[in-house]
Amino acid sequence: MSTKQNKNLVKFNTYNTLVASIGKLLEDARKNVAKTINTILVETYWKIGKQIVEYEQIGKERANYGEKILKKLSKDLTNKFGRGFSRSNLQYMRLLYLKYPKCHTLSGKLSWSHYVELLNVSDDLARSFYEKQCIKENWSVRELKRQINSMLFERVALSKDKKGVLKLAKEGHSKREIRNKYKRGKNKS
């Protein structure tokens, strides 16, 4: 290979490195923007939930649930601001405030979709468990939903081998595989 060809090869490799490096910067920036937007969205939804609860209670300790505020509010907000204000979404915003009364307890690592799944867990202890595991294991919304549906919390709570159950869950075993493993004899790995 001639010296001229060798210089061109070095420039080509250097240029590819430059493109890859710039691409990495752009990808990281986009991820950070998405995280920031998501954090602001969750906090805003929490504040909306707080305002709904405060309006419903109008200074009383408990709300008057007979009012059809969410249906009307949904219609008015949708007309004015567009999608995202369905009655059910407003119910989740309201519930977010009720289940997380302090905004700073919300995790910036979880999306609104994560919180919607968590809010469907009625038991506070189970919800807290799934939230912590979700953050610790960096679960996607799909994985969080799978773990909730497989009753991971209940299995861990009932198991004598809590670490083993968590390990199986982390590896992505189905509820049937885990149940079969524990029927045949505890932890014969």
Extents of the domains making up the chain: 107-189
Interacting residues of 174 by C-beta distance below 8 A, sequence separation 6+: 150
DSSP 103-164: GGGS-TTS-HHHHHHHHT---HHHHHHHHHHHHHHT--HHHHHHHHHTTHHHHHHH-S-HHH
**Residues 57 and 63: beta-carbon distance below 8 Å:** yes
Spell out the per-residue pLDDT of the chain, length 189, in tens: 566 655 555 555 788 888 988 999 999 999 999 889 999 999 999 999 999 999 888 766 666 664 588 999 999 999 999 999 999 999 999 999 999 999 999 999 999 999 999 999 999 999 999 999 999 999 999 999 999 999 988 888 887 776 766 666 666 544 445 455 545 444 444
